[in-house]
């Protein structure tokens, strides 16, 4: 006689405040000639690097792209070239990211383009553990309800399978947040877990 079982999927989540930030900026320059545009963007990118080193470590400053293309006016006539040097700068806390943006605006000026600020959680292990525990509790609640409806009770756990985070990863409220004051508000992120659990029915 085969063992009767019940399998349910439990969901759990926990909220965490982001505590680090990745600032994405670019040095942008326009000029009549390609070489002049490229040189101006390179000079501004170097200045971004100087400012960034005051707020983070060298290893967290990275170039993410360099492009140069023809620049056209509103009538479609080519007026020169535009060069763009994009960088990603990781900061250990939100205050450092805000101070970085303030200094970049003041020292790089009109050559600065801010592409966004991604708020992140440096350590998610504890939050994921809480989410997994909540997911198991949810699975247990469902299984007990189903077993009761079937006139049975739960026996041993036969199998547990852990799914990925809901939505493919943490979702941030206030992600890409930037204000004129460069005061970054952390909001919160939800770390989620999913568990599929099989119990024997007694």
Question: Per residue of the chain (202 residues), what is the pLDDT tens digit?
Answer: 568 999 999 999 999 888 899 999 999 999 999 999 999 999 999 999 999 999 999 999 999 999 999 999 998 899 999 999 999 999 999 999 999 999 999 999 999 999 999 988 888 888 899 999 999 999 999 999 999 999 999 999 999 999 754 433 333 333 333 433 456 767 788 889 999 999 999 8
Domain boundaries, the chain: 5-17+123-201, 20-120
Instruction: Identify the CA nearest to 56 among candidates 105, 18, 92.
Output: 92
Supply 184's token pair.
């970054």
Q: Give pLDDT, residue 124.
A: 84
C-alpha triplet 183, 185, 190: angle, nearest 5°: 155
State the Cα–Cα distance between residues 182 and 184, nearest whole angstrom.
6
Q: What topology does CATH give the domain 5-17+123-201?
A: Translation Initiation Factor IF3 (3.30.110)
pLDDT in tens, 8-33: 999 999 998 888 999 999 999 999 99
Instruction: Identify the CA nearest to 157 among candidates 202, 189, 187, 127.
Output: 202
Q: Is the pTM above the cut of 0.75?
A: no
Long-range contacts of 67-73 (CB under 8 A, 24+ apart): 68/34, 68/37, 68/38, 68/41, 71/30, 71/37
Q: Give pLDDT, residue 116.
A: 92
Q: Give pLDDT, residue 169.
A: 39
Count CB atoms within 10 A of the CB of residue 125.
8
How many angstroms from the chain centroid is the CA of residue 63? Answer: 18
Those residues whose C-beta lies under 8 Å from the C-beta of residue 22, and which sit 6 or more positions away, are 88, 89, 90, 91, 117, 118, 120
CATH hierarchy code of domain 20-120: 3.30.70.2970
Instruction: Identify the CA nearest to 10 among candidates 141, 191, 100.
Output: 141
Sign of the alpha-carbon dihedral angle for 75, 76, 79, 82: positive
State the Cα–Cα distance between residues 53 and 22, nearest whole angstrom.
14
């Amino acid at each position: 006689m085969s063992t009767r079982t019940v399998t349910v999927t439990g969901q759990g989540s926990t909220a965490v405040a982001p505590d680090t930030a990745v600032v994405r900026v670019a040095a942008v320059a326009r000029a009549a000639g390609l070489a002049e545009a490229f040189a101006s963007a390179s000079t501004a990118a170097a200045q971004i690097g100087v400012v960034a080193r005051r707020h983070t470590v060298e290893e967290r400053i990275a170039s993410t792209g360099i492009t140069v293309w023809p620049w056209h006016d509103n009538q479609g006539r080519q007026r020169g070239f535009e060069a763009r040097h994009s960088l990603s700068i990781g900061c250990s806390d939100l205050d450092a990211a805000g101070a970085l943006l303030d200094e970049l605006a003041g020292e790089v000026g009109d050559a600065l383009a801010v592409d966004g600020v991604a708020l992140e959680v440096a350590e998610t292990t504890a939050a994921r553990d809480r989410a997994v525990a909540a997911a198991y509790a949810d699975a247990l609640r469902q299984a007990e309800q189903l077993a009761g409806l079937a006139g049975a009770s739960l026996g041993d756990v036969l199998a547990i399978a852990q799914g990925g985070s809901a939505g493919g990863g943490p979702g941030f409220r206030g992600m890409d947040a930037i204000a004129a004051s460069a005061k970054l508000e952390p909001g919160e992120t939800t770390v989620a877990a999913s568990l599929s659990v099989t119990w024997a029915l007694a």
